[in-house]
Structure 1
Amino acid sequence: MMIRTFGEVAAMVSGTVRNGDESLVIRGVSKDTRTIGAGNLYIPIIGERFDGHDYAKEAFRLGATATLWQQDRGEPPEGVPAIVVDDALSALQRLAARYREQLPVKIVGVTGSNGKTTTKDMIAAVLAVKYNVRKTEGNLNGDIGLPLMILQMDEGTELAVLEMGMRGFGEIELLTRIAKPEAAVITMIGEAHLERLGSRTGIARAKLEILAGLKEGGLFAYNGDEPLLESLLSQASKPESIIGVRFGSGADNDLWPSHVSVEADGAAFTLNGAKKPEFRIPLPGRHNAVNAMAAVAVGRHFGLSDEEIASGLGAMKPTGMRIERMRGATGLTVLNDAYNASPASTLASLELLKELIGFGRKIVVLGDMLELGDEEERFHRNIGSALSPDQFDYVYAFGPLSRHTADEAMPSFPQGRVRWFDNKEEMVRDIASVARSQDIVLVKGSRGMRLEEAVQRLVDVQL
């Protein structure tokens, strides 16, 4: 964590000291009284329905040493060491940017419409073979979360792998200029955030903002299967010199997975048509083998051998609810992919389920895909049209938008094999009435649908 004096922090954020000795030592930061630690600098973030300044006294009662204080919120509490700033959030971001400049750490930035968390996990696992590594925790990938992640690093952190999320233009540029990465990765361009960015071209432009903060001569590993990235690259703000590595599913890329074999608990592959070495990841699906190519590119950039990269990939621990294999009480296999969903990621998960062998019937549970803008009905119907009774035995759709998925799929399936629900408990009971111990169930939906609740019930239920 950041350890600096009160006076040093004030200088880093261009703030004015009130009520405190400048030699006072600050150890770490927190924006939440529920996580405040002894010696922390309290960051009073202002939201739509809350004002962190209202909790400053509580933060000090719980051990905070000092606080930022936004100047339009009046005077800070009497006797409380405070640094008065123009804007609390901007000051947090300045603090993180200055601290990052003072650290010897090298940073890898990862963004993309899908797969960025899994790719982040793979890259971190690879780099950890040789370096002291930190990676983004939970959803700390935005304009508050990324600065907090940087401020959690200590002086001994050698490499950090940071997710960069966004909802609109300019957000990734802000994050990359704070982080100043030595390597940048774009996993893919999908349809999430269409309601804000208007088109896939807009999404690609927003993701390419990651290059604005990339250091001179840095690595740019990007999905070569996506022509939009190639076509827009010349227009992106970027250093004069970058090392470009295209990865993807086909042999026209610099890195591509070959001899891919997929099972329910992982995938194995080689590189670029070679027979050896073989790489294994504890994640099923060809799309995850493609994302592993980004980890190979980053590992090589930072001096790891292919054997070291293979070791790291094999030891990675995926973040939960990303195609997490779970075994039910009676042997039913559940693939929990309920963390998020988009048209591209849903099709990839369906493709995975098609490839798996050794199970009885294949049951698909699909929740709404959110944040798709005006074309949300078309995207849900497209998923329905991709479902075939030759490949899936039952389809369960949950949520108002998934009604379109069910309507599109229903004519192709035998009667009763496609079912739509607006009640999660009723859906789980229905699945339990048809599922057998040797079957496999894929659960996929946007985070807002909370389908992990259905997953847990399916794991616990006695068939």
Structure 2
Amino acid sequence: MIIRSLADIQTMIPGSIIDERYTSVMIHGVSTDTRTIERGNLYVPLKGATFNGHQFVKEAFDKGAAAALWSKHEPNAPKDVPLIFVDDTLVALQQLAHAYRKQLRTRIIGVTGSNGKTTTKDMIASLLGTVYRVQKTEGNLNNHIGVPLTLLRLKEDTEYAVVEMGMSGFGEIELLSTLAEPDVAIITNIGESHLQELGSREGIATAKFEIVKGLQRGGLFIYHGDEPLLQTRVQQCMLSHVETFGMAKTNDYYPLDIRVQADGTSFTVNRWPNEMFHMPLLGRHHVMNALAAIVVARFASIDVAHMKEGFSRLTVTKMRTEVIKRDDGVTIINDAYNASPTSMRAALELLGQLTGYRKKIAIVGDMLELGDQEIAFHEQIGEMIDPQSIHYVLTYGTRAKAIAERASERFRAGCVRSYDDKRKLAADVQALISAGDVILLKASRGMKLEEIISLLNE
């Protein structure tokens, strides 16, 4: 994490003002939240529509903060404490993070995409971690506040950092990319997430492609080569080093063989046709994320043996195809962190491909932020669910009713049900399941579908 004197901080944040009495004060790390602040931190009070962090500056000092930022436009600044006066505390946080990034020798891997960016981040960190000192984005710190905090948490001796970059509108990825200045930039895919804000898949592709704005001169750009919307943009942009991955053999990296097994997914790659990679994740769609990670590993000169080791010890962020084995013999696949039409189809296809289970039950909820086409997208999901490979479809939420309506046209009576009450849904599932069954949970984050797991245990 950043360890600097306030004199250093003053040079890193343009236009900042510090009382000369405090220039030798040292800060150890940065926090924007007094609930988790640690002794020696620099406290950054952010201001939002319904809150003002400046109200908690005294509390921050009481809890051991070494110093704090303070907006020049805020009245009643506390006396006789180390304050750094700035025009805008959020902008100052971003400026500090960018300046710190430029002082580090750490190589940055920037990851964005509509689906799979968190899992790809975890894979890259696992592969790189077999050889190098690596840090990665923690939790969901992937926005205009989270990325600066991620950069400021980097240790001086970290060799590689994997930084996830999320967005909801135009200009956001460009900001994050210019702050992080990645040595490698990755777009996992272009899906339908944020259609409500960006209007079309073309708009999503434009927004995601902003990641090249901060790419280091001569840096590596990696993208899903099966996506025409990305192909077109790459052709129009002067990038010196580009690698692609995908299913098509026109890509630099593509799979030759994919096998989904009870303990994970195995695959081979065109570059090493006789080498089988195995990862403890279920689903063919994860192979695309793995290919992106392999391209980064090659960039970092990691050999196949270490790649295999990295995949074998992979741990991913919770609620991303997380497999839970219950004591009663029921398996739960918790993929409830988020959902789009692309990831929903992939999850349902995975459930359909699984073998060795008595009953396969899909519990799916609303997919959010899909704009005017949201009902049509839900109907398409209902139409693609195969009654020959999935036995029950239970939906939660008003939009997901459209999934049930279309699916019920092909399923036996009683095998498709809609709910607006999680407790009722959980009670019916508990009455339905027995040893040897498998349940899939999939919905957008706002639906909190993972609560079904605890309700089943009541």
- Scaled to the shorter chain, the TM-score interval is over 0.9
The 2-side partners of 1:124 and 1:382 are apart by 35
Moved over 3 A (4+): none
- 2:353 paired with 1:371: no
1:73–1:273: structure 2 CA closer, same or farther, 3 Å change rule? Answer: closer
> C-alpha displacement at 1:395, in angstroms?
0.3
Aligned counterparts of 2:228 and 2:58: Cα–Cα separation in 1:
53
Superposed displacement of residue 273, structure 1:
7.8
How many Å separate the matches in 2 of 1:376 and 1:172? 24
After TM superposition, give the deviation of residue 457 of structure 1 in Å: 3.2
**Structure 1 equivalent of residue 211 of structure 2:** 210
Post-superposition offset of 1:203: 0.2
Instruction: Return the alpha-carbon distance in structure 1 between the equivalents of residues 392 and 235 of structure 2.
Output: 46
Deviations 1:309-329 (A, max 9, x none): 121111111111111111123
Distance (whole Å) between structure 1 residues aligned to residue 335 and residue 440 of structure 2: 7
How far did 1:247 drift? 0.4
* CA spacing shift, 1:235–1:18, aligned 2, 3 Å: farther
Give the match for residue 38 of structure 2: 37
User: 1:265, 1:70 → 2: CA distance?
Assistant: 53
Question: Match of 2:163, SS?
Answer: strand
Equivalent position SS for 1:161: strand
Q: 1:351 and 2:349 equivalent?
A: yes
- Match of residue 5 from structure 1: 5
- Larger CA deviation: 329-338 vs 69-78: 69-78
Q: Is 2:98 the counterpart of 1:97?
A: yes
Question: What aligned pairs does 1:413-452 form with structure 2 within 5 A after superposition?
Answer: 413-452=411-450
Q: CA deviation at 1:344?
A: 0.1
Q: Write the distance in 2 (CA, Å) between the matches of 1:65 and 1:435.
A: 55
* Identity across matched positions, percent: 48
Matched residue, 1:300: 298
Distance across 2 between alignment mates of 1:218 and 1:19? 41
Deviation at 1:241, TM superposition (A): 4.2
- State the Cα deviation string for residues 208-262 of structure 1 (Å, max 9, x = none): 00001111111111101211100122445xxx54321110122221111222110
Are the equivalent residues in 1 in contact too, given 2:353–2:389 (CA < 8 A)? Answer: no
How far apart, CA to CA, are the structure 2 residues paired with 1:170 and 1:58? Answer: 34
TM-score w.r.t. length of structure 2: 0.98
Contact 1:327 1:334 in 2 (8 A): yes
Q: 1:441 to 1:349 in 2, by over 3 A?
A: same
Tell me the amino acid that sits aligned with residue 307 of structure 1.
Answer: A
Query: Corresponding residue for 1:179?
Result: 180
Indicate the residue corresponding to 2:245 in structure 1: 247
1:168 aligns with 2:166: no
For 1:264 and 1:372, the matched residues in 2 are separated by: 33
Q: Amino acid of the residue matched to residue 292 of structure 1?
A: A
- 2:330 aligns with 332
Deviations 1:260-319 (A, max 9, x none): 110243100111285421111111111101110001100000111122112111111111
Q: What is the CA distance between 1:18 and its match in structure 2?
A: 3.4
1:75-104 alpha-carbon deviations (Å, 9 max, x no partner):
521112111111100000000000000011
Q: Does 1:230 align with 2:231?
A: yes
Amino acid at match of 1:3: I
Count of residue correspondences: 457
Q: Which residue of 1 aligns with 2:254?
A: 256
Contact 1:68–1:82 under 8 Å retained in 2: yes
Mapped contact 2:352–2:386 kept (Cα < 8 A): no
Q: Find the aligned partners of 1:8 and 1:218 in 2 and give their Cα distance.
A: 29
How many Å separate the matches in 2 of 1:104 and 1:275?
35
8 Å contact from structure 2 (residues 174, 211) kept in 1: yes
Q: Could you tell me how far apart the structure 2 residues matched to 1:264 and 1:283 are? A: 9
Q: What is the root-mean-square deviation in Å for CA atoms of aligned residues?
A: 1.3
- Structure 2 distance, partners of 1:339, 1:235, is 35
Instruction: Give the aligned residue type for 2:426.
Output: V
Aligned equivalents of 1:364 and 1:273: distance in 2?
Answer: 36
Partner-residue secondary structure (3-state), 2:268: strand
Relative distance call for 1:292 and 1:249 in structure 2 (3 A) is: same
| 1:362–1:441 contact (8 Å) kept in structure 2 | yes
> Match of 2:10, SS?
helix
TM-score normalised per structure 1:
0.97
What residue in structure 2 maps to residue 268 of structure 1? 266
For residue 34 of structure 1, give the secondary structure of its aligned residue in structure 2.
Answer: coil
Question: Could you tell me how far apart the structure 2 residues matched to 1:225 and 1:361 are?
Answer: 34
Q: CA deviation at 1:455?
A: 2.3
The residue type equivalent to 1:98 in the other structure is: A
The structural deviation recorded for 1:20 is 4.0
Contact kept in structure 2, 1:361 and 1:393, CA below 8 Å = yes
Structure 1: stretches of 5+ with no match in the other structure: none
For residues 74 and 276 of structure 1, the distance between their equivalents in structure 2, rounded to whole angstroms, comes to 68
Uncovered stretches (5+) of structure 2, i.e. residues with no partner: none
Compared CA separation, residues 197 and 20, structure 1 to 2 (3 A):
farther
Which whole-Å CA distance do the structure 2 matches of 1:104 and 1:222 have between them? 25
Question: Which residue of the partner structure matches residue 109 of structure 1?
Answer: 110
Kept after mapping to 2: 8 A contact 1:277/1:307: no
Contact 1:257 1:273 (C-alpha < 8 Å) held by counterparts = no
